[in-house]
Structure 1
Amino acid sequence: MDSQGISPDFVTYNSLISAVCKLHIWRDATFMIRQMSAKGIDPNVETFNIVVYAFCNLGKIEEARLVLYYMHEKGVDPNLVSFNSLIDALCLKGEMTEARSLLNLMMSRDLAPDVATYISFLNGYCITKKMDEAMLIYNEMREKGLRPDYETYNTMVRSLFSAARFGDGRKILDEMRGQGQMLDGSTYQSILVNLFIQNQAELAISLFLLVGDSNLNSDIFVYNHLIAGAIKCGKPDIAMDLFSDLRVKCMKPTNLTYMEMIDVFSSEDLLDEAKELLREMEESGYKADATTYNFLLGGYLRNKQYDDAEMLLHKMDETGNLNGSTVSLLRELKAAGSLDPSMPKFTVKLAPKAERDFRAMMS
């Protein structure tokens, strides 16, 4: 351009500055800004915003502040884009007091916050788990006819459910659904897990039913989370209903699904069902481990089905799953009075250490 006598303008310089900022070549960006001034093309607010955004995008907040000061020295007033870039960077770092101070400075210059400003604060308050403040911002947005974007909705719902703010979380989720939107898979699974951790099994199932037959409920890992959570909360009936739902949907259980359900059936003394599920699991190409075998073994021994127990111990020995954990299970059952001292002696050949422990326990 120079060789042909064509002078670069704002568009040319801003494009080049944007490019070198993306490559983190700050020295070149600084050189170009000075070159602009030398050629009588004073950098405008858009030029500086490119640099501010680049610094903020890298989390270089102090450098972004310096650019704002430099703008002031050059007589260029920061605009809403300038402030929003820095406010967003502060909120993402959880520096909410600093973000508030910058917001006050912005408003003192008659710059009203827009939807991007509000979204930054919503995300920041969710990151810092200040859900009261997040709801205040959310309600203020509603009053102004503004709505969060899709990602912020997901963040808010996940954060509210995690903070046991179930009513607020459901309220915002309902608003999302009213707009034809639904949570993403990661958020949905996170909420389900947290609900079970907080002993909210019924609420988790309610959410599951609300989602219905969408793609979110076509993921076997969602069912695994729900089944495991139901078991943890002492709701084996829910776990069994969910497992039955898999059959209806023709969804293939995973190794974890089988393990969890063998645990449920065994603990509920539905031993025929547990035995059949073990067979199905192995026919599906999954290998049961010592934990899975011990679930079923415990059920047999509690119900004094010693012949089945002895056959299972033989199988465990053959598959290399007879170890100290089995001995620990037997010891626990004996201490609980669930192991009949007159039960037949097992002929299974145990591993040397397990055999010694087993004999010592039974003597």
Structure 2
Amino acid sequence: MVEKLGNYGEFEAMENIVAEMREEFDNRWLEGVYISVMRNYGRKRKIQEAINVFERMDFYNCEPTVFSYNVIMNILVENGYFNQAHKVYMRLKDKGIAPDVYTYTIRIKSFCRTNRPHAALRLLNNMPSQGCEFNSVAYCTVISGFYEGDYRMEAYGLFDQMLRLGIVPDVATFNKLLHTLCKKGDIKESEILLDKVLKRGVFPNLFTFNIFIQGLCKKGLHDGAAKMLDGAIGEGLCPDVVTYNTLICGLCKNSKVVEAENYMNKMVNSGLKPDAFTYNTIIDGYCKLNMVQKADKILLDAQFRGAISIFSEASGKGIKPNVILYNTLIKGLCRQGLIFEALHLMNEMQQNACSPDIWTYNLIINGMCKLGCLADASTVMNDAITKGFLPDIFTFNTLIDGYCKQLKMGEALEIVNTMWDHDITPDIITYNIILDGLCKSSSADNVLETFKAMMEKGCIPNVITYNILIESFCKARKTGESCRAS
């Protein structure tokens, strides 16, 4: 019950069950329950709550053993609290509790994640003298640390040493090592290590193939990724949605959206249902290629299916479009200047019980500003405020930039004043936009005055700020001020 409640995030109910158990049972035998509670909190990144459970154990007459120490140390290391994890380890030593192989493995992981693989190796080599046998998890953790730090020779040598000792990682442990290599784009090294473990009876699973496909896509080797997908099928494995999505995402990032859509069709033919990520990726790919439905909403590109048809297909297959899906398409429409179509789509999303967010409004406002429709953009912002969507810094900066590009500096400065009314502090981007507008409108004195006001507000200038100042003073032939600014 504790495990299930924790998995579903029902922590209050979980704590009530534990409290009831404390009253019914001898607390000395409840360590396993406390460990389960700590892990549940750890999975949800509730670090302080996990620590509180650990700290209360001895208060409730349940003395923590090495197992409890290992669990809380691992939670701290996984979430980047390395110093705190070290303090827990020192506390374990002070209590006279003997560390076990998992304690050392957690310590090794901590060293590797803080870029100290050589310290991790010393600890690994010291394990037998502490009565702990080597294991594949400890070895692969150190090897991953060396690869992360670009100590390739040390990593490769340690991998060979592990195999010579007869320590062969299982596929789950090996996959973690592969993930490190493929994340760094080192596909060839991954293949060499895979060949070594294959000869020792370790067979890849679907996750292994998914890691390779992701690594190949990151390197732009999409043909290799496609062959790897075929290889997984040839091995009798059934690719899942993650497998196809990885390849589809890689293809779309390299503008191969048609090929990506073909793989989506293969995905459907294999009995898998594309999810929102699948459709969102392909829609985004088509939008970036400017293949969005034209203004008359009738003609689609003669060669390719446009993003609107994919969007309709997603809706037709029972996938409820979410705000990300709508925003992706609205962004594509605005990029082509199809503002009325974007507004229509925003109205449609509200009819489909999908509420727009401030980013939806920002996209529309940005599109209108680029077309010079500043009054309409202001109306959209006011509409967003009326509906409870508070504008952010991007909203204001977009409008200010639109007015400055038309040299309507009075309106731009008025919006800056409005920002303060909404408790939004102008940033360096805001001031640079205003300064650039004043410079272009040949208001050198106003540029300097605004610059001083910016400094008084605690906004630190950057190189763009100084470039604008120099340009403004040069235009006004104030070379002395220009030299001081530079």
Q: When the two structures are superposed, what TM-score results if normalisation uses the length of structure 2?
A: 0.48
Structure 2 counterparts to residues 76-87 of structure 1, below 5 A: 76-87=202-213
Unmatched 5+ stretches in structure 1: 267-273, 296-312, 323-350, 356-363
CA distance in 2, matches of 1:153, 1:59: 26
Query: Which of 244, 249, 254 is 1:123 aligned to?
Result: 249
Contact 2:282 2:307 survives alignment (8 Å)? no
**Correspondence for 1:23:** 145
Which amino acid letter does the alignment assign opposite residue 358 of structure 2?
S
Q: For residue 334 of structure 1, what is the aligned residue in structure 2?
A: none
- Whether the 8 Å contact between 2:137 and 2:169 is mirrored in structure 1 is no
Aligned pair partner of 1:229 in 349, 352, 367: 367
Q: Residue 223 and residue 76 in structure 1: after superposition, are their counterparts in 2 closer, same or farther (change >3 A)?
A: closer
- More moved, 78-87 vs 167-176: 167-176
CA contact (8 A) 1:88 1:121 kept: yes
Q: Which residue of 1 aligns with 2:190?
A: 64
Query: How much identity, in percent, do the aligned residues show?
Result: 24
Paired residues of 1:157 and 1:172 also in contact (CA < 8 A):
no
- The change in CA–CA distance for 1:241 and 1:106 in structure 2 (over 3 A counts) is same
Measured against aligned partners, the alpha-carbon deviations of 1:200-253 in whole angstroms (never above 9, x if no partner) come to: 22232233334449775335xx54542332243365674354144145247456
Structure showing greater Rg:
1
- State the Cα distance separating 1:30 from its structure 2 match: 3.5
Which residue identity does 1:35 align to in structure 2?
L
| Partner amino acid, structure 1, of 2:366 | A
Give the equivalent residue in structure 2 for 1:307.
none
Distance 1:95 1:79, change over 3 A: same
Q: Deviations over 1:269-304 (max 9, x none)?
A: xxxxx96x4674364467855737989xxxxxxxxx
- Counterpart amino acid of residue 319 in structure 1: N
Kindly tell me: are residues 177 and 191 of structure 1, through their superposed partners in 2, closer, same or farther at Cα, counting changes over 3 Å? same
Structure 2 distance, partners of 1:50, 1:290, is: 50
For residue 482 of structure 2, what is the aligned residue in structure 1?
none
Instruction: Kindly provide the CA deviation profile for residues 65-87 of structure 1, in whole angstroms up to 9, marking residues without a partner as x.
Output: 11222234334443333322212
Matching residue's letter, 1:199: G
| Alignment: residue pair count | 287
Indicate whether 1:34 and 2:164 are aligned: yes
**Which residue number in structure 1 is paired with residue 288 of structure 2?**
162
1:218 aligns with one of 353, 358, 362 = 358
- What displacement does 1:319 show? 2.8
Q: Partners in 1 of 2:474 and 2:259 — Cα distance?
A: 63
**Could you tell me which residue of structure 1 aligns to residue 415 of structure 2?**
281
Greater relative contact order structure (CA < 8 Å, 6+ sep): 1
Residues 115 and 353 (structure 1 numbering): CA distance in 2 closer, same or farther, change over 3 Å? closer
The one-letter amino acid paired with 1:86 is: F
Residues 158, 191 of structure 1: 8 Å contact kept: yes
Q: Match for 1:197 among 330, 335, 340?
A: 335
Distance 1:70 1:352 in 2: 67
Report the AA paired with residue 437 of structure 2: T
Q: Deviations over 1:45-66 (max 9, x none)?
A: 4454343333223221001111
State the Cα distance separating 1:110 from its structure 2 match: 2.7
CA change 1:248–1:156 in 2 (3 A) is same
> What is the identity, as a one-letter code, of the residue corresponding to 1:291?
G
Unaligned 5+ segments in structure 2 are: 1-100, 102-127, 148-154, 292-305, 421-425, 450-472, 478-486
Structure 2 Cα separation of the partners of residues 91 and 282 of structure 1: 44
Preserved contact between residue 223 and residue 242 of structure 1 (Cα < 8 Å) = yes
- Aligned-partner Cα distance in 2 for 1:194–1:30: 51
* Structure 2 letter corresponding to 1:49: N
Q: TM-score, normalised by structure 1?
A: 0.61
The amino acid of 2:342's aligned partner reads A
